[in-house]
Amino acid sequence: MKTVLMVAPYFIPRRRVGALRPFKFAIHLQKFGYQPVVLTIGNPGSMLTRKEKDLLQKITIVEINTPFDRTGSIISNSDKSVKKNSLSDYMINWIDKQTPLDAWIYLFKAKYNSIYPVIKKKEPDIIWATGDPWSGLWLGEKIARDLKKPFVADFRDPWTVSNINLRARSAFSSKWDKKVEKRIITAADRIIFTSEMTRNKYCQYYHDITSKTETIYNSFDNTIIGSNPERKWNVKPDPKKLNIIFFGRFRRLSPAKPVTDALIRVKSTYPEALNYIRIHSFGKPDPVCANHINKADLNHIFIFHEPVVPEEMVPVLKSADILLLSTNADREDVIPAKLWDYLSVEVSIFSIVSNPEVGEIIMRSKAGIQVHPENTAEIAEILISYAMAKKNNEPSLLSVEKDIPDRGIYESEYTTRKLAAIFDDLTTDA
């Protein structure tokens, strides 16, 4: 069995979307002849669930200990809990803005001489690294270069070739981001993207890379989420309401604005429908989203719950009448990670995103419908029809078909097989 070093700065039990992609690959790679060694940033404040411990039992985890970590905090909309104008916060944000890639680069550079010997002893046959954080790609490329091993760069999101920055950048840091990205693109033996639109955009921007690019979608995994029929959500949504679940937190990259604007229109054209609509999300919304909801006087429509771990997800999703998919309209080349979670259950998806590729996946899976976020009137009309159907105890116009022949291609074992095939190609003659 060959060894693959997986450079994944965010990994379970770190509760971030970016941690799930490498986790889902890692737990299946042994089936295809690869023993994963995961290099990640330590996260001592979080604990693995019992299921996660079982799945990771035979996987080697090498942790990089860190004296700093700002990724675990959640911004509250309460003025009492956030000192917005503190000098320390200002300085930290300024340094972050000026830093090429991201602030983790300081940790990786400081720790590299101690990391490298540990990794070298593992004798990896191939290096795979993911971003963001983009410093993970930098670290993976450097290790691969020093070990003289094939390197696979996994772009979880578009980096500099994007319509929206994931965080604030200065002119200095933006310039260096582009230089480092170009070096990684050039050095990589394979470049993986999570959407065809992103891959096409990069192939147009960087000439002559098409032959070494591949799209491997994110995925859902019933191994992780489990299928215990006795597991229940400790919340019981009102069965008389149209319960719309957004399985995440409303924030800049996943805004509440498209659905809020549609609800404002519902309020003015068919106010009765609002009595039957409830939108559930997980974690407090960021201040911008919270303010927009508050100004619209729609606080009673939105219900905010505590986040739940992946293996507790199924009963939550199954309690919904509709699963809401929303992302920033400027991220038109991104496929929201929540889509894959939604495909794991037979509940209707209402997608309000701008990427047509998402709509194609939903149609192919016979899972729901998609409307562009700028089509506020159409979104409002659909919400009204769903709400009144709920009121009258009538079947929804949107229902998932039971015969779903193509959803298997979106499961993580299938996507991991595609990844392993790339590893085979790069290591056969190595």
Query: Is 392 within 8 Å of 398 (Cβ atoms)?
Result: no
pLDDT band at residue 83, thresholds of 50, 70 and 90? very low
With residue 201 as reference, give the H or E element that holds it.
helix 196-205
pLDDT band at residue 73, thresholds of 50, 70 and 90? very low
Same domain for 260 and 360, yes or no, is yes
Same domain for 203 and 161, yes or no, is yes
Lowest mean per-residue pLDDT among 132-136, 188-192, 217-221, 406-410:
406-410
Tell me: pLDDT of 384 over 80.
yes
What is the mean pLDDT of the segment spanning 73-78? 36
Nearest CA to 388 out of 275, 260, 244, 262 is that of 275
Tell me: pLDDT of 70 over 70.
no
DSSP 306: -
pLDDT of residue 323: 97
Same domain for 271 and 210, yes or no, is no
Neighbours of 339 (CB within 10 A): 25
pLDDT of residue 296: 96
Per-residue pLDDT reduced to its tens digit, 145-199: 999 999 999 998 899 998 777 778 889 999 999 999 999 999 999 999 999 999 9
Q: What is the DSSP string of 97-124?
A: HHSSS-THHHHHHHHHHHHHHHHHHH--
Same domain for 168 and 285, yes or no, is no
Same domain for 204 and 334, yes or no, is no
Query: Is 155 within 8 Å of 191 (Cβ atoms)?
Result: yes
Instruction: Return the bridge partners of 251, or none.
Output: 254
User: Could you tell me how far CA 4 lies from the centroid of its own chain?
Assistant: 23
With residue 384 as reference, give the H or E element that holds it.
helix 376-391
pLDDT of residue 229: 55
Q: Which residue has the higher pLDDT, 259 or 43?
A: 259
Amino acid found at 204: Q
pLDDT of residue 80: 38
Same domain for 242 and 378, yes or no, is yes
Q: Which residue has the higher pLDDT, 402 or 239?
A: 239
CATH number for 65: 3.40.50.2000
Tell me: pLDDT of 228 over 80.
no
pLDDT of residue 77: 36
Number of domains the chain is built from: 2
The per-residue pLDDT of the chain, averaged, comes to: 89
pLDDT band at residue 58, thresholds of 50, 70 and 90? very high
Nearest CA to 257 out of 322, 306, 304, 302 is that of 302
3-state DSSP call for residue 323?
strand
Helices (H), 296-369: 313-318, 338-342, 356-364
Same domain for 172 and 251, yes or no, is no
User: Could you tell me how far CA 402 lies from the centroid of its own chain?
Assistant: 27
pLDDT of residue 168: 82
Same domain for 244 and 161, yes or no, is no
Which CA distances in Å does 295 have to 115, 257, 299? 51, 12, 9
What is the mean pLDDT of the segment spanning 223-228? 66
Same domain for 364 and 420, yes or no, is no
pLDDT of residue 226: 59
CA distance linking residue 413 with residue 21, whole number of Å:
12
Lowest mean per-residue pLDDT among 45-54, 211-220, 254-263:
45-54
Per-residue pLDDT reduced to its tens digit, 99-136: 989 999 999 999 999 999 999 999 999 999 999 899 99
Per-residue pLDDT reduced to its tens digit, 356-367: 999 999 988 889
What is the mean pLDDT of the segment spanning 265-271? 97
Is the sign of the CA dihedral 35, 41, 44, 46 positive or negative?
A: negative
For residue 94, the enclosing domain spans: 2-219+411-427
Tell me: pLDDT of 246 over 90.
yes
pLDDT of residue 332: 85
Same domain for 174 and 293, yes or no, is no
What is the mean pLDDT of the segment spanning 19-29? 96
Nearest CA to 39 out of 142, 188, 192, 191 is that of 142
> Which two three-digit tokens encode residue 208?
């002559």
Amino acid found at 42: G
- Is residue 133 reached through a cis peptide bond, with omega within 30 degrees of 0 on the bond before it? yes
pLDDT of residue 82: 39
Query: Is 311 within 8 Å of 226 (Cβ atoms)?
Result: yes
167 φ/ψ sector (left φ>0, alpha ψ -120 to 50, else beta): beta
What is the mean pLDDT of the segment spanning 39-46? 89
Which CA distances in Å does 290 have to 93, 113, 257? 22, 45, 10
Same domain for 267 and 195, yes or no, is no
DSSP 241: S
Same domain for 135 and 179, yes or no, is yes
